[in-house]
Amino acid sequence: MSNIQLLNINSISTSGMHAQSQRMRVISENVANADSTGQTAGEDPYRRGTITFKSVFDRETGATKVEIAKLGQDGSDFPQKFEPSHPAADENGYVRMPNVNMIVEMMDMRQAQRSYEANVMMMDGTRTMIRKTLEVLRGA
Amino acid sequence: MDLTNIPSFQMFSRSMDYHAQRQNVIAQNVANSDTPKYKARDLAEADFGQEMKRAQPGLTMTPASHGVSIIAKPAVSHGVYEAMEDRNPREVAPNGNSVVMEEQVGKMRKSVFNYNLAADLYKKQISMYSMALGKGR
């Protein structure tokens, strides 16, 4: 019967879960460092981290899994905030802030969670199918 | 007595095979739901309901010197269905990904349902044959 097809799904969904949890880690880092400026005017603030996925063909199972392509950094400009009393303020009183947008990070986090849960749902559904298969084989 | 030659058993087993392969393709879509340029795939539609209705159970008796025993072997002939890209995706993300999560979850539930249904029918028919042949259950 189609046991092999079903058993392969575990490794496929696992790769999806792994990728999404890596993504959530990157987002958490961004959120945690959303206010991390440099100590002095010359020092860069925290630069937003990014993550990209790529699909990978697994010869053994004949399935397309997902992997981390690379962890990078967001190259966009640092926004400036006017705060002359800040230790990292330049001569005009501006502080360079991390290029992290909380709204974007929150949306991304929600998306990552949904994708993660969808992979879990796949494994749950598959588990009932495997159980059914065993029932049939046992009953016979 | 070999059950693999009975058309209805072949239908059930082929339905299970189809839906297991479909589940596999859906799992790949879900795992790659955020991969740039990945296009959602699916198997071609196959309606087993019709075929199952039309299938007539037949009995093949093989001469056995030690009485009749029922063996249910997994059906041998299975199709390998080709997963094709969806030509008209509902939406394509800016990064080129065409997987719509809600659609995939809906398809998954259908696959699970149809697979379990075919498995249950398979089981039911086996027990019916058992009873009819006097094995009792």
If you count them, how many residues does chain B have?
137
Nearest to A103 by CA among A38, A34, A22: A34
Selection from A60-64, A110-114, B46-50 with the highest mean pLDDT:
A110-114
pLDDT for A2 equals 64
Give B10's DSSP letter: H
Instruction: Please say whether the beta carbons of B8 and B51 come within 8 A.
Output: no
Which of residues B45 and A65 earns the better pLDDT score?
A65
Which of residues B5 and B22 earns the better pLDDT score?
B22
pLDDT for A13 equals 95
- Distances in Å between the Cα of B38 and the Cα atoms of A68, A116, A121 are 14, 17, 21
Beta-bridge partners for A53? A68
Instruction: Please say whether the beta carbons of B130 and B70 come within 8 A.
Output: yes
Q: Provide residues of B within 8 Å CB-CB of chain A.
A: 13, 16-17, 19-21, 23-24, 26-28, 30-36, 38, 70-72, 74-75, 78, 101, 104-105, 108-109, 111-112, 115-116, 119-120, 122-123, 126-127
Q: What is the mean pLDDT of residues A59-85?
A: 92
Q: What is the mean pLDDT of residues A64-92?
A: 93
pLDDT for B131 equals 85
CB pairs under 8 A between A and B: 122
pLDDT for B57 equals 44
Over residues B82-105, the pLDDT tens digits come to 788 877 788 888 889 999 999 999
3-state secondary structure B89-115: CCCCCCCCCCCCHHHHHHHHHHHHHHH
Burial category of B87 from C-beta neighbours within 10 Å (exposed 0-12, middle 13-18, buried 19 and up): exposed
Coil/strand/helix, residue B83: strand
Q: What is the mean pLDDT of residues A90-108?
A: 94
Instruction: Please say whether the beta carbons of B28 and A5 come within 8 A.
Output: no
The residue of chain A nearest to residue B129, with distances taken between CA atoms, is A140
Query: Given a cut of 60, is residue B72 above it in pLDDT?
Result: no
Mutate to test the interface with B, among A3, A4, A7, A9 (most CBs of B within 10 A): A9
Query: Given a cut of 80, is residue A40 above it in pLDDT?
Result: yes
Provide the 10 A C-beta neighbour count for residue B107: 19
Instruction: Please provide the DSSP assignment of A58-121 as one string.
Output: ETTTTEEEEEEEEEEE--SPPPEEE-TTSTT--TTSEEEPPS--HHHHHHHHHHHHHHHHHHHH
Instruction: Please say whether the beta carbons of B35 and B97 come within 8 A.
Output: yes
- Distances in Å between the Cα of B86 and the Cα atoms of B38, B41, B44, B97, B99 are 11, 6, 10, 12, 10
Identify the band that residue B48 occupies on the pLDDT scale cut at 50, 70 and 90: low
